[in-house]
Amino acid sequence: MRGRLPSHGRVNATVNPIHRMRAMLRGSDGGIALELALIGPLLLMIVVGVVQFASLYLLQTHMFQVARETARSLVESEIDQSGAQTYAEARLLDWGITYTVTVIPPNPPTHSDYEVRISAPLADASLLDLFGLFQTGTLDAGAVMQQ
């Protein structure tokens, strides 16, 4: 009768997974806490980095869409060049960011290409700048529309 459980009803610790887990945790002497203390900050930095770059990507994509919409409205004469900046600023995300909207009119006038550029300082656009990586530079987006 090898390999059978004892007949008195007790389950051996090597057979029951719950007892096995308790035995491992009792014998670890704080090893799990030490591993978490070593790996935890690294995992936190990775998560913060992913959130930071995702928010910058979201902002740049939105800036590109606004630039494209503004250029399209200029080409279709829905707005004039003097109202393009106000039109674009009204559609940008209100995250407390100072945007710069530049409209480049057609040159020469026989061409109907409008170019709209939107930029924002990285220092304003970044959510969290732990290591000073985003103190200089700009986040740029632009679109050119032709009739």
How sure is the predictor about 33, in pLDDT bands with cuts at 50, 70 and 90?
Answer: confident
With beta carbons less than 8 A apart as the criterion, state whether 116 and 142 touch.
yes
Q: What percent of the chain has pLDDT over 90?
A: 38
113 token code pair: 């290409």
How sure is the predictor about 102, in pLDDT bands with cuts at 50, 70 and 90?
Answer: very high
How sure is the predictor about 23, in pLDDT bands with cuts at 50, 70 and 90?
Answer: low
Of residues 27 and 114, more confidence is placed in 114
Most confident range, picked from 2-11, 22-31, 69-78, 109-118: 69-78
Q: How far apart are CA 72 and CA 76, in angstroms?
A: 6
Q: How far apart are CA 112 and CA 147, in angstroms?
A: 6
With beta carbons less than 8 A apart as the criterion, state whether 84 and 101 touch.
yes
pLDDT value for 13: 46
Round the average pLDDT of the chain to a whole number and report it. Answer: 83
Name the pTM for this structure: 0.72
Could you state, in order of their start, the residue ranges of all structural domains in the chain?
17-145
Summarize pLDDT for 38-81 with one digit per residue, the tens.
899 999 989 988 998 999 999 999 999 999 999 999 989 899 88
Does residue 40 sit in helix, strand or coil? helix
Q: What percent of the chain has pLDDT over 70?
A: 82
Q: How far apart are CA 132 and CA 123, in angstroms?
A: 9
